[in-house]
Amino acid sequence: MAGKLGQAERDLHGVIAAIATAIDPRGEPDCARSIALARFLLANGCDGLNVLGTTGEATSFSLDQRRRVMNAYAESGLPLTRMMVGTGAAALADAITLTRHAAELGFAGALVLPPFYYKGVSDDGLIAVIEAILSATAARPVPLYLYHFPAQSGLPWHVALVRRLLQSFGDRIVGLKDSSGDMAYAREAAAVAPGFRVFPSTEAALPEARSCPFAGCISATANLNADLCARAYRAGDTAALSEAVAIRKLFDGTPLVPGIKALLAHIHGDTQWARVAPPLFGYPVADRAAAIAGYDGVRAKRVA
């Protein structure tokens, strides 16, 4: 496999927001609002961003829409060296197209879901998918991060498979985002190889990121609490960590992405942020009121 990666290309770390994607009244990605949020998050605690992940509603967008969002980030002047972008798709050709585009634009990494329609496929089938993506991007070897979210994809990047992928493709596969919520799995994955960078999806993992084994966290709720996460990660501020986790818990038992966007609308005073793409639906009014009250309560304690 052509093209080795230097350490600088591996250096996504710390507090990474799985950034939401704004949607305009026509149902198209609102790139201007999305970039404004990205700029705000990078200025207020985030070490990096995960563009077009689950929170970014990537799989609800067409290939053209996803490329348009990626282009907007590339044209924004924001540092793509601090961003990974979701390029996984059900169709291998789409995943190759998006991953190649990420490489051409200069994103620091491509986050790859397994092809998620057929369930129970063999490890050999998943390895063939990764090999095809890597071969297609060999001339411009963007680092690949595996996206482990079996509750949504139905296909796990289980540890034995991760080990096989690293043995076969080594330097091109640099890390994994774990959205399973299984910390034992995350720790086992982080121990597969020296320097393999694992990012759990919860802020609660930040103390372990300070001392290893994790490289940081990639969190949906970092759209809302990045400043608190940054204090927890950089200074070991346990009060800030507790507040960050309390904000995350506001969404327990409710739809996460509509909830994040409802609170973004509240925080930024912009009702347009509450819009989601089908099949997601707007956050229920009662849940929105409870989330706003809880969020404002956490923030009031810090001000006091």
Say which of 147, 233, 283, 295 is annotated catalytic: 147
Catalytic annotation, pick one of 73, 117, 118, 177: 177
* 4 given a catalytic annotation: no
Concatenated DSSP letters for 188-223?
A: HHHTSSTT-EEEESSGGGHHHHHHSS--EEEETTHH
In a 3-state reduction of DSSP, which class is residue 2?
A: coil
Of 172, 221, 166, nearest to 194 by C-alpha is 166
Whether 163 and 127 have beta carbons less than 8 Å apart is answered as no
Let me know the angle formed at the C-alpha of 20 by 18 and 21, rounded to the nearest 5 degrees.
135
User: Residue 162 has which token pair?
Assistant: 């991760």
Q: What single letter denotes the amino acid at residue 151?
A: A
DSSP 254: S
301 among known catalytic residues: no
Distance CA 37, CA 17 (A): 11
Q: Are 218 and 12 in contact (CB under 8 A)?
A: no
3-state secondary structure string across 241-296? HHHHHHHHHCCCCCCHHHHHHHHHHHHCCCHHHHCCCCCCCCCCHHHHHHHHHHHH
Count CB neighbours of 167 within 10 A: 10
DSSP 76: T
How many Å apart are CA 32 and CA 50, to the nearest integer?
A: 17
Active site residues: 147, 177
